[in-house]
A and B are shown apart, each in its own frame.
Chain A
Amino acid sequence: MKFVDEFRDREKADVLIKAIEQLLARMKRDETRPLQIMEVCGGHTHSIFRYGVEGMLPKSIELVHGPGCPVCVLPMGRVDDCVAIAERPEVIFATFGDAMRVPGSRKSLLQAKADGCDVRMVYSPMDALALARLNPQREVVFFGIGFETTMPSTALTLLQAEREGIENFSIFCNHITIVPTIKAILDSPDLRLDGFLGPGHVSMVIGDAPYEFIARYYKKPMVIAGFEPLDILQSIWMLLKQIDEGRCEIENQYARVAPAGGNAVALKAVAQVYELREFFEWRGLGSIDHSGVKIRDAYARFDAERKFAVSNARVADPTSCQCGEVLKGVIKPWQCKVFGRACTPETPLGALMVSSEGACAAHYQYGGVKRGRDEAEASAA
């Protein structure tokens, strides 16, 4: 398949793996521990597992799967709010597919649908707006979720609804922003990371400037990476090269899609529609300042949070979860106390088991739970 197969070429992968091995061999580094590289984005985590990238890398490189799966980090209280909105008889609740399985404290949207709520899976917020046009007697609520990648499309849909004078459409805004969360990870005292693979699709919107602080103040290198397996290998090689040469920069491997300045039109729509929340709750990470956005007062009539007086109650994460430690690379997914036992993709306890992009779910699905258990037992013994 054109424009896909080129980025999954086995021979080119071999060349890159050799280059990575050579670089590692001549690098001066602490040989007692592996180099830890965090891929921030869930899309990267998925590709890494889908193509078996981790197993191709030398053992001295450890990939830490970061917090960049918006479905995973959605806190239980917000899912409860979704269900409460969906349970109103006048509401058609429109959501992306993989958000349907996220557990709330009472139920997931999938269960709510089975119990009779009108929950529809859509592929774009514009599909939800089309539902509102088709069902003028119903209230259509779109579940806005995702980082800067999906923020503009939600904003543009809201602006389109305003232009058309559609009154029965609103957005339950759960959009979050990645930069404060990377900062929170960098500020944690048990941090061990050596560098970051940056989320390419977020940079497609925001460019590379917002990450400058990582290099400047925290002295960690980052490479903004594409999502094909060759993109990931090349980005790892670029990161090692920075470490080898003692540089800390924000480099862009994904220039074919993500321009340095981002997307001006998208950024304008985002600025017009949203403002930063004081704080937002993340499953597994707790409350992080300025890490979420809400709809501005000027568009209050499109804000489901205000239209349906959402309770916004906080529900604490289960105490047995070690998602926070997994996210920071302190432990591997299978070293968590509940991984594969109390916490499985069928009955996820923690954020990272929720969506197939979550580090634990990806390990469970593609990494082999039996191997994980064996290793956990071996390390405990």
Chain B
Amino acid sequence: MNMISLPSRRSRGKVHTPTVTLAHGGGGKAMKDLIDDVFVGAFDNPLLDPLDDSARIDLLDLAQYGDRLAFTTDSFVVDPLIFPGGDIGKLAVCGTVNDLAVGGALPLYLSCAVIVEEGVPIDLLRQIAGSMAATAKDAGVKIVTGDTKVVNKGACDRMFITTTGVGVVAAGVELGAHRARPGDAVLVNGLLGDHGAAILGARGDMALRAPIESDCAPLQGLIARLLEAAPNTRFMRDPTRGGIATVLNEIAEASQIAIDIDEAATPLRDEVRGFCEILGLDPLYLANEGKIVAIAPPDEAAAAVDAMRAHPFGREAAVIGRVVDGEPGRVAMRTIFGGRRIVDMLVGEQLPRIC
């Protein structure tokens, strides 16, 4: 960063109203005050501070980490905004950081575009920005550019956030959904379905309170450990919406192989199992926000599990199945009962059953 000359620190504005109004999106002083007070203050870094139209990043600086740029974007519309184990801000950072990391990239820079509905308390916005800043710090990334829009009441559900991320892939790291081979191990880094269950529980419309926290976490550290221990890892993906069932089907389809998983080896919290039992949901389809599915060659599987277990976000890591020679694209599960069933892609959203 030392090759960019930065202007001297300018004075920052302050917000003077308790809630966001359309004036905060008008492009004038009120907007500058909001951005300065809420976002620039929280994200606090020299690339963002001048508030230029774009952040400029030194190419030589990036090149020290690898030989390819990774670039991704994601939008976050979670309801409720604050849930057990996280909030929309933490989620917006983790989601994009994890999308970069599972591609083998070191996440470095994020953008943050926020659409806010008029009437949202400034304190709430401040809390979310603070959460983004803290998570970015944990993830080792900087939020270097952004945008804020305010929309009329009813035009959005309080707050939507889009983050775009840039990272660098180290030379030699080659990951792809098409690389799975028969004999490979299917790994996860821990208990599945926590995020989906936490969000459904927090919405309150199931009239069911469960002590389940979202697993929302930035995984770049865990993934770096995994890649050190198992350098020939074939592929990784974060099983967010659609759960691990969807990711396994995508891998089986892309690699034209079959996958067998073992229900007894699949790590699930008792609370999540109970939650799914009562509502008639299948945990394999529940969203995760701090989990990866990894495909590793057989001789590196044990090292990969050990490396993940040594990390705070991988204590419950496990081999849950194998890539096998079989009907291409087929994912099957040996049930805890000893039977076998197909694990297919979900059609639409999971809906609770009547009886």
| A98–B335 CA distance with the chains assembled, in angstroms | 24
Given contact pairs A1-B273, A4-B277, A344-B347, A97 touches B335 in the complex (Cβ within 8 A): no
Which chain B residue has the least Cβ–Cβ distance from A366?
B341
Cross-chain contact A346 with B347 (CB below 8 angstroms): yes
The answer, among B273, B338, B347, B351, for a CB contact under 8 Å with A100, is B351
In the complex, B171 has a CB within 8 A of chain A = no
List, in ascending order, chain A residues with CB within 8 A of B330's CB.
Answer: 368, 370
With A101-B351, A146-B355 known as contacts, the answer to whether A123 contacts B206 (CB < 8 A) is yes
Is B63 an interface residue, CB under 8 A from the partner?
no
Query: Contact between B352 and A10 (Cβ–Cβ < 8 Å)?
Result: no
Complex interface bits, B151-180 against A, C-beta within 8 A gives 1, otherwise 0: 000000000000000000000000000000
- B335 contact set on A, CB distance < 8 A: 50-52
Find out whether the CB atom of A366 lies under 8 angstroms from the CB atom of B339.
no
**Given A50-B341, A368-B342, residue A346 in contact with residue B208 (CB < 8 A):** no
**Distance A260 CA – B344 CA, assembled complex (angstroms):** 39
Q: Does B123 contact A (CB under 8 A)?
A: no
Closest A residue to B263 by CB, please name it: A51
A364 to B337, CA, bound (A): 21
- Interchain CA distance A50-B273 in the complex, whole Å: 14
Q: Which single residue of chain B is at the shortest CB-CB distance from A199? A: B355
Q: A357, B353: Cβ atoms under 8 Å?
A: yes
Q: Would you call B270 an interface residue if the criterion is a C-beta within 8 Å of the partner chain's C-beta atoms? A: yes
* Least CB distance, A222 to chain B, in whole angstroms: 19
Residues of B within 8 A of A120 (CB): 205
* Closest partner residue, chain A, to B281 (CB atom): A97
Q: Count the A-B residue pairs with Cβ separation under 8 angstroms: how many?
A: 113
* Residue of B with least CB distance to A121: B205
Interface residues of A in 91-130 (CB under 8 A from B): 96-101, 110, 120-124, 127
A127 vs B338: C-alpha distance when bound (angstroms): 38
Evaluate contact between B327 and A370: CB separation under 8 angstroms. Answer: yes
Q: Which of these, A43, A99, A366, contacts B342 with CB under 8 Å?
A: A366
- Tell whether B348 is near chain A: CB-to-CB under 8 Å: yes
Give how many A residues have a beta carbon under 8 Å from the other chain's beta carbons. 55
Bound Cα distance A344, B355 (Å):
22
Interface residues of A in 1-51 (CB under 8 A from B): 1, 4-5, 8-10, 13-14, 42-43, 46, 49-51
- Would you call B207 an interface residue if the criterion is a C-beta within 8 Å of the partner chain's C-beta atoms? yes
B18 on interface, CB distance cutoff 8 Å: no
Report yes or no: B337 in contact with A8, Cβ–Cβ below 8 A.
yes
Produce 1/0 per residue, B266-285, CB < 8 A to A. Answer: 00001001100101101000
Provide 24 A-B residue pairs closer than 8 Å at the C-beta atoms, listed in order of the A residue: A1-B273, A8-B337, A10-B336, A13-B337, A13-B338, A43-B353, A46-B280, A50-B341, A51-B335, A51-B339, A56-B339, A70-B354, A98-B351, A123-B279, A127-B207, A145-B354, A229-B337, A229-B339, A344-B347, A357-B353, A365-B344, A366-B342, A369-B344, A370-B330
* Sample of 16 more A-B contacts, CB < 8 Å, known A121-B205, A145-B354, A149-B355: A8-B337, A13-B338, A42-B355, A49-B341, A52-B334, A52-B337, A98-B354, A122-B205, A346-B347, A346-B348, A357-B353, A365-B344, A365-B347, A367-B341, A368-B330, A370-B327
